[in-house]
């Protein structure tokens, strides 16, 4: 049986970050990716926020295949025939090194995998890890078909459906209430058309999010990200809510694309890619045990994702966790100790950084975001408030506060609204 210092399972941002970190330190690293190539099975909305990629790859701005930088954020509350948007732009967003980057995972993951190979890791694509090799309750390698590969440590970064993490006893099976279903199309449009429609210049891009009618009032939302010559268009909806409502995510996506605010933005485009993905969304309560003897779990496989309604961040958590896992293996290698106690430096690193601190800070957000009033009555109320404030029918006007009180009282109820504000205060 061939032996490595570390085996990484999964070629996404977490797995590649772990492989790069360990290979740069001189460790013998083998990375398995079940897709035909790294990035083949990746699905991302998608924007990456934060400095983690620049810290891992100082050459990121000049070498990485990012589509555009995020120069505009907008959140829209939608009814079937109208919408109200909060549209944020800032010169700070348009100043290098930028806060956010719009990426296409197929290209970007492939680039990261090449960086791992350049650092000395072996990347084995088209190979599925079927099982873990155990000895005395410690993980000592993996099984691919009939062949076994040994390792001092296995890093699981194989996504939200990680059966290996369950086999290792690190986590329980996730339930439909823990997950959201993401579905996305890549729609090709000429670059100049995208820039005209979204009022963009140069490498500037837009990250647009939508709440309300785009999901028929179910917990979730729609999104559009502007690439160089295409749009990433999709919806994300709680899986349990889809099951209860007996509606499919593809049906919601078609309705979203047909909305009068969305249809002109994608008109004339050609769908060239279609993908779906489950997203861990239950926050801190969903994070499993992160390590045991000879094994760690990172990225989506560890449910390391932050959603607060206004932000949805997972890729930066994946990269940060991959780096932390890689550094933990480096430390364990120096001590020749790969026990759970030794590898617990991984969890301590996540606790001292932003990953687990942010999940702790927003630990109540997942529960708050299950409130169906956010996606139905409140979205409807925001639109009606603006309609009535702006309406001129020749009669004397009411004060804006009186309109807000009337609409919210009718759509939500003052008691429910006060309870929701209290919950929001705790969650956000």
Tens of pLDDT along the chain (428 residues) come to: 789 999 999 999 999 999 999 999 999 999 999 999 998 888 876 899 999 999 999 999 999 999 999 999 999 999 999 999 999 999 888 889 999 999 999 999 999 999 999 999 999 999 999 999 999 989 999 999 999 999 999 999 999 999 999 999 999 888 999 999 999 999 999 999 999 999 999 999 999 999 999 999 999 999 999 999 999 999 999 999 999 999 999 999 999 999 999 999 999 999 999 999 999 999 999 999 999 999 999 999 999 999 887 788 999 999 999 999 999 999 999 999 999 999 999 999 999 999 999 999 999 999 999 999 999 999 999 999 999 999 888 888 899 999 999 999 999 998 999 999 999 999 98
Would you say 71 and 204 are in contact if contact means Cβ atoms under 8 Å apart?
yes
Beta bridge partners of 132: 142
Q: What is the pLDDT of residue 152?
A: 98
Helix axes 354-361, 345-352, angle to 10 degrees: 60
Q: What is the pLDDT of residue 43?
A: 80
Q: What is the pLDDT of residue 410?
A: 95
Structure pTM?
0.95
Q: What is the pLDDT of residue 203?
A: 94
Q: Which residue has the tokens 């719009």?
A: 102
Q: What is the pLDDT of residue 310?
A: 74
Both structure tokens of 378: 């409140």
Closest CA to 129 of 162, 153, 101: 162
Would you say 166 and 308 are in contact if contact means Cβ atoms under 8 Å apart?
no
Q: What is the pLDDT of residue 44?
A: 76
Domains and CATH numbers, the chain: 2-65+103-174+284-362 (3.50.50.60), 177-280 (3.30.9.90), 376-427 (no CATH)
The Cα-based distances of 181 to 222, 281, 376 in angstroms read 12, 10, 19
C-alpha–C-alpha distance, residues 288 and 2, integer Å: 30
Would you say 238 and 372 are in contact if contact means Cβ atoms under 8 Å apart?
no
Q: What is the pLDDT of residue 312?
A: 84
Q: What is the pLDDT of residue 355?
A: 97
């Amino acid at each position: 049986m061939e032996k490595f210092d570390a085996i990484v399972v999964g070629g996404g941002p977490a797995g590649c970050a772990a492989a790069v970190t360990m290979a740069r330190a001189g460790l013998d690293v083998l990375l398995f990716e079940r897709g035909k190539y790294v990035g083949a099975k990746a699905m991302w909305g998608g924007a990456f926020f934060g400095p983690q990629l620049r810290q891992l790859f100082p050459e990121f701005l000049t070498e990485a295949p990012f589509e555009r930088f995020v120069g505009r954020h907008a959140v829209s509350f939608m009814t079937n025939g109208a919408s109200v948007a909060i549209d944020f732009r800032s010169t700070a967003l348009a100043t290098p090194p930028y806060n956010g980057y719009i990426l296409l995972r197929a290209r970007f993951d492939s680039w990261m995998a090449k960086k791992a190979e350049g650092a000395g890791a072996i990347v084995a694509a088209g190979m599925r890890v079927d099982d873990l090799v155990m000895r005395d309750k410690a993980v000592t390698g993996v099984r691919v078909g009939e062949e076994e590969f040994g390792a001092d440590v296995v890093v699981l970064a194989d996504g939200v459906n990680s059966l290996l993490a369950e086999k290792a006893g690190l986590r329980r099976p996730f339930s439909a209430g823990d997950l959201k279903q993401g579905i996305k199309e890549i729609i090709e449009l000429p670059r100049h058309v995208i820039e005209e429609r979204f009022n963009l210049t140069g490498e500037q891009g837009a990250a647009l999010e939508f709440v309300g009618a785009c999901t028929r009032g179910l917990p979730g939302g729609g999104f559009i990200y502007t690439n160089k010559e295409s749009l990433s268009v999709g919806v994300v909806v709680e899986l349990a809510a889809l099951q209860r409502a007996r509606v499919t995510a593809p049906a919601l996506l078609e309705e979203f694309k047909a909305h009068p605010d969305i249809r002109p933005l994608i008109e004339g485009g050609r769908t060239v890619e279609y993908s779906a993905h489950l997203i861990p969304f239950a926050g801190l309560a969903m994070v499993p045990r992160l390590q045991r003897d000879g094994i760690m779990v990172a990225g989506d496989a560890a449910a390391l994702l932050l959603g607060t309604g206004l932000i949805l961040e997972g890729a930066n958590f994946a990269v940060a966790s991959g780096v932390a896992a890689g550094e933990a293996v480096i430390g364990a290698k120096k001590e020749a100790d790969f026990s759970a106690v030794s590898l617990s430096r991984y969890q301590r690193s996540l606790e001292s950084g932003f990953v687990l601190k942010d999940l702790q800070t927003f630990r109540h957000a997942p529960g708050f975001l299950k409130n169906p009033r956010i996606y139905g009555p409140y979205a409807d109320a925001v639109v009606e408030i603006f309609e009535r404030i702006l309406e001129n029918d020749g009669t004397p006007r009411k004060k804006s506060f009186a309109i807000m009180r009337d609409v919210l009282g009718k759509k939500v109820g003052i008691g429910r609204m006060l309870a929701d504000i209290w919950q929001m205060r705790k969650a956000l």
